[in-house]
């Protein structure tokens, strides 16, 4: 076979690799700010974050959405999310000020895609930090609701530092080992018993020293008394929910900005 033919076949093979990698069907453009195709989020979290992102677009014009799926299968993560974000056109036309938080539950992977217009305020380093500090630890703790809530809050306040329309990131669960907690509780209980014993001894000695009259007076007193202040808290239910077809892309574009991570 002639060398030129070998060269042609080699070039064709190399060029076909990206084509094969990108050969997948992009999902339909989302109609909500939060799309959960994997059933990872509670309905309350989904409605809350959806409302936050809708309010953020009204306040700033920037479009930020969340899309949760199961797997990219054999398509590389960055190829899948980059092509999908490009075809969805999140963000405003001419401003390209959109961002998408992608999560794939079976792959244990996360990707933040950032439009051209937001790459200065949500840099690759910012996206990496948000994934590392706000999303991955909560996903490792099996808390997708906290991961999405805190990740979105961090994205919005990074893009717009003055924005105050998001709920604070939920506190992570206490990671103190049970043995340590048990030891502390045992010490508190021991100290409480010691104080109680000391008080009884003091009262008995005082009664003996004061004589029968003091004993009679003490008998009628209310030394053993307990008062419990009951506190009631009512959790207001969030009745807000996203209406049908509440998200519509504005014609923005993406150029590969963002970061990836896994848990």
Mean pLDDT by groups of 10 residues along the chain of 263 residues: 50 44 82 97 96 96 97 95 95 95 98 96 97 97 97 97 78 48 60 66 61 49 40 36 64 90 97
Nearest to 35 by CA among 82, 78, 86, 90: 90
Please give the structure tokens belonging to residue 28: 């339909």
For residue 250, the model assigns a pLDDT of: 81
Half-sphere exposure of 118 (CA within 13 A, CB side): 35
Same domain, 149 and 44: yes
Please give the structure tokens belonging to residue 88: 């969805």
**Residue owning tokens 């970061």:** 259
Nearest to 45 by CA among 137, 130, 149: 149
What letter does residue 118 receive in the DSSP assignment?
Answer: G
For residue 82, the model assigns a pLDDT of: 95
In a domain, 72, yes or no: yes
For residue 210, the model assigns a pLDDT of: 58
For residue 256, the model assigns a pLDDT of: 83
Same domain, 103 and 155: yes
For residue 209, the model assigns a pLDDT of: 61
For residue 182, the model assigns a pLDDT of: 57
For residue 252, the model assigns a pLDDT of: 87
For residue 220, the model assigns a pLDDT of: 47
In a domain, 136, yes or no: yes
Same domain, 64 and 91: yes
Residue span of the structural domain in which 45 resides: 21-173
Nearest to 77 by CA among 97, 38, 96, 103: 103
Same domain, 163 and 182: no
For residue 78, the model assigns a pLDDT of: 96
In a domain, 200, yes or no: yes
Instruction: Please give the tally of structural domains in the chain.
Output: 2
In a domain, 29, yes or no: yes
Same domain, 168 and 186: no
Same domain, 168 and 183: no
Same domain, 140 and 184: no
- Final residue of a domain: which of 173, 188, 208? 173
Same domain, 129 and 198: no
Same domain, 46 and 122: yes
In a domain, 241, yes or no: no
In a domain, 242, yes or no: no
Same domain, 209 and 163: no
Helix axes 43-60, 144-159, angle to 10 degrees: 10
Same domain, 138 and 36: yes
In a domain, 32, yes or no: yes
* CATH code assigned at 63: 3.10.310.50
For residue 130, the model assigns a pLDDT of: 97
In a domain, 5, yes or no: no
Same domain, 152 and 187: no
């Amino acid at each position: 076979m002639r060398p030129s033919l070998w060269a042609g076949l080699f070039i064709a093979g190399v060029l076909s690799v990206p084509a094969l990698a990108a050969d997948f069907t992009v999902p339909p453009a989302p109609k909500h700010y939060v799309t959960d195709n994997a059933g990872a989020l509670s309905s309350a979290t989904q409605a809350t974050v959806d409302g936050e992102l809708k309010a953020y677009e009204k306040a700033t014009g920037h479009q930020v959405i969340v899309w949760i799926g199961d797997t990219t299968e054999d398509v590389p993560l960055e190829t899948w999310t980059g092509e999908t974000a490009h075809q969805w056109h999140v963000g405003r036309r001419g401003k390209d000020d959109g961002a998408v938080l992608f999560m794939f539950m079976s792959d244990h992977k996360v990707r933040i895609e950032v439009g051209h217009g937001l790459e200065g305020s949500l840099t690759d380093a910012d996206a990496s930090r948000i994934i590392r500090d706000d999303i991955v630890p909560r996903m490792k703790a099996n808390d997708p609701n906290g991961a999405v809530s805190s990740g979105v809050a961090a994205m919005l306040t990074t893009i717009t530092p003055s924005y105050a329309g998001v709920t604070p990131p939920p506190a992570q669960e206490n990671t103190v080992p049970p043995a340590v907690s048990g030891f502390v509780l045992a010490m508190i209980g021991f100290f409480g018993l010691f104080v109680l014993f000391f008080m009884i001894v003091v009262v008995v000695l005082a009664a003996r020293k004061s004589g029968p009259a003091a004993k009679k007076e003490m008998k009628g007193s209310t030394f053993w008394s307990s008062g419990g202040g009951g506190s009631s808290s009512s959790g207001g239910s969030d009745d807000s929910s996203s209406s049908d077809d509440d998200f519509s892309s504005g014609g923005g574009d993406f150029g590969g900005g963002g970061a990836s991570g896994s848990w």
